[in-house]
Structure 1
Amino acid sequence: MSKAVVAVVGRPNVGKSTLFNALAGERISIVEDTPGVTRDRIYADVSWLDHEFTMIDTGGIEPDSSDIILSQMREQAQIAIDTADVIIFMTDVRQGLVDADAKVADMLRRSKKPIVLVVNKVDDFDKHVMDSYEFYNLGIGDPHPISAAGKLGFGDMLDAVIAHFPEPDILDREDDTPRIAVVGKPNVGKSSLINRLCGKQRLIVSDIAGTTRDAVDTRVRFNKKDYIFVDTAGLRRKSRIQGDIERYSIVRAVAAVEKADVVVLVIDGAEGVSEQDAKIAGIAHERGKAVIIAVNKWDAVEKDNHTMSDQIDRIHKTLSFMLYARIIFISALTGQRLGQLYEAIDQVIAASTMRVGTGVLNEIVAEAVAMQQPPTDKGKRLKIFYVTQVAVKPPTFVVFVNDKKLMHFSYVRYLENQIRQNFGFEGTPLRMITRQRDDKS
């Protein structure tokens, strides 16, 4: 079952990242200027009572002039509207109610999405809580006073957030048509691919990165089966700052991946696999989703006998964490191999929902242990008592051992590879959970 997506919107310096870090329980959204991967962690899993949701921090824009701040805030708000189930609109009690807050509140109100209005920096409730009442003037409901830095007021705020989530039984009764998220960096041909699959120009396509209008769900019937394709739009308009296009394409990818059964990562065949492709692939892997890598524009690539295998090698090198992914070479322009895409979708769905009997699973693991002895440490050897599959989407296995500390990552990977060799599981990640129990033998 997919998790709800909650997006945080607000002006620069109202404390979005502080709230995000406090709820995520670690410094994921990086405040200091560290180059590299850390800056890109703009989503996290949050648990509150019996609910789990994915939280997205849309923030991080601090331009100088107020009109640019407003245009960038509108862009953030639009992305939150497009992607989130619930929007946290964050304001600052110290700065008070400002014009930009009112303008974004108008946009959010018109979206008809549930909004939780949060007033941050209420560090002393006795002194400042009355000041938060000013925000009733926004006309989007009760302001929830909090201190993100002091972790005050979170309970009432999170209660308000989860009150907007659908009931679990409603989620379970939802349409069980497979949902396929088509993701990738801007301008690789995501919309062209969906247009081709639908046979009609549902989405606006142009050569400017980030011109797709919206995240659009498109139902397609192929060989008497229904599929729902989710286009993860770029920006509504070309951003003034190039880096924002990348950030927001990732924000949208997170939300679409969360609600998908299968992720089709579209790569530009002429350009090859990039670092941004790896970031988006990492989201799908982390979320435990079945993955197909569609190398698009293959008709435009000059080929010899080694071109395809060289491209596969490069993909495996850059996306070394998902060697299980199914790779197909397509052209959205000519329609080349698009029939194979449906076939691949069916296969990876079957793999991600496959269950393996406990008896046969333990036979395979016993053979694997006989072929490669488990690791030892200070004379103590790892013993594997029992393995059982406990979940699907992704297939999840619990391995009962005598000592968790002896279960090295490399041996977990070895067992995973043995399970794949025997049962397939192409296109889906596997989760291996190690549990310790007393050695009674």
Structure 2
Amino acid sequence: MDAENLPVVVIAGRPNVGKSTLFNRLIGRRQAIVSDMPGVTRDRKEGEALMRGRRVRVIDTAGLEEAAPDTLFGRMRSSSETAVEIADLVLFCVDARAGITPADAHFANWLRRQGRPVLLLANKAEGKAGTDAALEAFSLGLGTPLALSAEHGEGIGDLMGEIVDRLPQAPRAKSRDEDEERPAGPLRLAIIGRPNAGKSTLLNTLIGEERMITGPEAGLTRDAIAVDLHDEHGEIRLVDTAGIRKRARVDEALERMSVSASIEALKMAEVVVLTIDATLGVHEQDLQLARLIEREGRACVIALNKWDAVENRSATRQAIADRLEISLAQMRGIPVVTFSALTGAGVNKLLPAVRKVYEVWNARVTTGELNRWFEEALEKHQPPLVDGRRLKLRYMTQVKSRPPTFVLFGTRAELLPDAYKRYLINGLRETFHLPGVPIRLQMRGTKNPYADK
């Protein structure tokens, strides 16, 4: 497809909200100059990005500002408005740390009048505090904000998935034997783990050739290497990564870059296979990687490699299961597959487990089913008192999948204690069969109009 015929995604927003940083992230290279000084971007910059197998034309625009048409800032705004007119999707960025400004509200109203599809992005939303601040962007009336950090690469994989889902379907010629439409792109699968866990051997076994150099020495793989694999269900984009050691033990610049590439591959994946040397059991570093996978919202399969070398398999499996239950409660029910990558025994169980957890990661629950369960959950266990008053929780809705994400509405819902959130998340996981994937539960309070009277 020619570049001019590609779907157009335009990044818009007021100055210094991180548009150019996001642009660089999406196209995969530092093309746009990035600075803390507002107004660095003046002309539109264009680049091509590959998102879930689709080529997309991305346009970075100057910051939207109120200014007279004959001034420099007025011409910059006019250029940005022209880009919006040709957009198939507008990414409207706000700064989660700064909160919603009058300029954000003004240009959100302007965007609504343009009749273009808009995806609201709350950038600079690092960590839990940033995610909570991002919810303020609900007030703009542009739908559910997607929290991300372009600078740190957090949420970029989710953003690319949302972009592709909202773009017009790409025309594609069907083969004579094909009745069903294929997915927009291959399933993105990353293989991560500590050094010498057998990641490269596993990739070689899966694709049936010696694609990766392997050996007894730890750290042979230094970069994230991607290969394509086809099974009976479709295409998988496999990425083998360098082993990740504890941060304190990573000294050389080359290894630091390798680890950085591995973590970036994890963030861009949809499913992550966490490969563990079963003869050594679950190490604290393995748990740290699992927690990183959970924080990034990826689906995960635990792969216990070198299973043929384990002497007491029953005791080893039970010990690992107990460790995961205690230390990874936030991903309860995570699938565990045992095999030997070297001999190939049991490797055939891995991709079916990957496909299954991928389906769970994409699961959606209807609002009706969700609120029938929610009412029963409230009856069984009433919300606690906060400052002597009971919280009034009203209803819940699922705002997205990948991973399953729910928003709970109610008076002072943002004050809900963590213990009650865990109760609700565990109930969601059990009732709607969501084992082993991260579940996001966001709170949105409703303001009492008489509170300040």
TM-score class, shorter: 0.5 to 0.7
- Of 29, 42, 65, 1:86 maps to 29
In 1, the alpha carbon distance for the partners of 2:217 and 2:348 equals 28
Deviation at 1:84, TM superposition (A): 9.3
Q: Higher mean Cα deviation, 375-384 or 179-188?
A: 375-384
Equivalences, count: 303
Task: Give the aligned partner of residue 344 of structure 1.
Answer: 353
Deviation at 1:322, TM superposition (A): 2.8
- Of 15, 18, 21, 1:48 maps to 18
In 2, the alpha carbon distance for the partners of 1:303 and 1:287 equals 34
Task: Give the aligned partner of residue 200 of structure 1.
Answer: 209
Task: Give the aligned partner of residue 29 of structure 1.
Answer: none
In 1, the alpha carbon distance for the partners of 2:298 and 2:341 equals 23
Matched, 1:426 2:435: yes
In 1, the alpha carbon distance for the partners of 2:325 and 2:432 equals 21
Deviation at 1:398, TM superposition (A): 0.6
In 2, the alpha carbon distance for the partners of 1:328 and 1:284 equals 17
TM-score by length of 2: 0.60
Task: Give the aligned partner of residue 139 of structure 1.
Answer: none
Task: Give the aligned partner of residue 325 of structure 2.
Answer: 316
Question: Percent identity, aligned pairs only?
Answer: 35
In 2, the alpha carbon distance for the partners of 1:247 and 1:276 equals 16
Gaps of 5+ in 1: 1-45, 56-82, 88-113, 118-143, 236-240
- One-letter amino acid of the counterpart of residue 268, structure 1: D
Instruction: Say if 1:180 and 1:230, in contact at 8 Å, map to a contact too.
Output: yes
Matched, 1:257 2:263: no
Matched, 1:276 2:285: yes
Deviation at 1:272, TM superposition (A): 1.6
- One-letter amino acid of the counterpart of residue 300, structure 2: V
Task: Give the aligned partner of residue 412 of structure 1.
Answer: 421
- One-letter amino acid of the counterpart of residue 215, structure 2: S
In 1, the alpha carbon distance for the partners of 2:236 and 2:374 equals 36
In 2, the alpha carbon distance for the partners of 1:289 and 1:54 equals 22
Cα gap change, 1:161 to 1:212, in 2 (>3 Å): farther
Instruction: Say if 1:381 and 1:406, in contact at 8 Å, map to a contact too.
Output: no
- Of 403, 409, 413, 2:412 maps to 403
Instruction: Say if 2:332 and 2:435, in contact at 8 Å, map to a contact too.
Output: no
Cα gap change, 1:273 to 1:247, in 2 (>3 Å): farther
Cα gap change, 1:242 to 1:400, in 2 (>3 Å): closer
Deviation at 1:163, TM superposition (A): 5.2
Instruction: Say if 1:203 and 1:213, in contact at 8 Å, map to a contact too.
Output: no
Secondary structure (helix, strand or coil) at the match of 2:402 reads: coil
In 2, the alpha carbon distance for the partners of 1:381 and 1:182 equals 46
In 1, the alpha carbon distance for the partners of 2:23 and 2:327 equals 29
In 2, the alpha carbon distance for the partners of 1:316 and 1:198 equals 32
Secondary structure (helix, strand or coil) at the match of 2:221 reads: coil
Deviation at 1:361, TM superposition (A): 0.4
1:132-173 deviation line (CA, Å, top 9, x unaligned): xxxxxxxxxxxx8x6xxxx4x36527x899855633679626
Deviation at 1:409, TM superposition (A): 1.0
In 2, the alpha carbon distance for the partners of 1:161 and 1:194 equals 41
Secondary structure (helix, strand or coil) at the match of 2:40 reads: helix
Instruction: Say if 2:197 and 2:277, in contact at 8 Å, map to a contact too.
Output: yes
Deviation at 1:378, TM superposition (A): 3.2
Task: Give the aligned partner of residue 138 of structure 2.
Answer: none
1:262-298 deviation line (CA, Å, top 9, x unaligned): 0111111111222322332222111111111111111
- Of 371, 376, 382, 2:385 maps to 376
- One-letter amino acid of the counterpart of residue 229, structure 1: L
Cα gap change, 1:339 to 1:326, in 2 (>3 Å): same
Cα gap change, 1:305 to 1:203, in 2 (>3 Å): closer
Secondary structure (helix, strand or coil) at the match of 2:314 reads: coil
Task: Give the aligned partner of residue 33 of structure 1.
Answer: none
Deviation at 1:316, TM superposition (A): 3.2
Cα gap change, 1:359 to 1:317, in 2 (>3 Å): same
In 1, the alpha carbon distance for the partners of 2:400 and 2:44 equals 28
Deviation at 1:325, TM superposition (A): 2.2
In 2, the alpha carbon distance for the partners of 1:234 and 1:246 equals 9
Cα gap change, 1:217 to 1:405, in 2 (>3 Å): closer
Matched, 1:357 2:366: yes
Cα gap change, 1:313 to 1:200, in 2 (>3 Å): same
In 2, the alpha carbon distance for the partners of 1:281 and 1:190 equals 16
- Of 397, 401, 408, 1:388 maps to 397
1:92-140 deviation line (CA, Å, top 9, x unaligned): xxxxxxxxxxxxxxxxxxxxxx5x67xxxxxxxxxxxxxxxxxxxxxxx
Secondary structure (helix, strand or coil) at the match of 1:209 reads: coil
Deviation at 1:260, TM superposition (A): 1.0
Task: Give the aligned partner of residue 375 of structure 2.
Answer: 366
Deviation at 1:371, TM superposition (A): 0.9
Gaps of 5+ in 2: 1-15, 50-56, 59-87, 89-159, 165-169, 171-182
- One-letter amino acid of the counterpart of residue 317, structure 1: I
Secondary structure (helix, strand or coil) at the match of 1:194 reads: helix
Pairwise CA RMSD: 3.2
- One-letter amino acid of the counterpart of residue 258, structure 1: K
Instruction: Say if 2:27 and 2:47, in contact at 8 Å, map to a contact too.
Output: no
Secondary structure (helix, strand or coil) at the match of 1:432 reads: strand
- One-letter amino acid of the counterpart of residue 156, structure 1: V
Deviation at 1:196, TM superposition (A): 0.4
Cα gap change, 1:426 to 1:304, in 2 (>3 Å): closer
Task: Give the aligned partner of residue 156 of structure 1.
Answer: 40
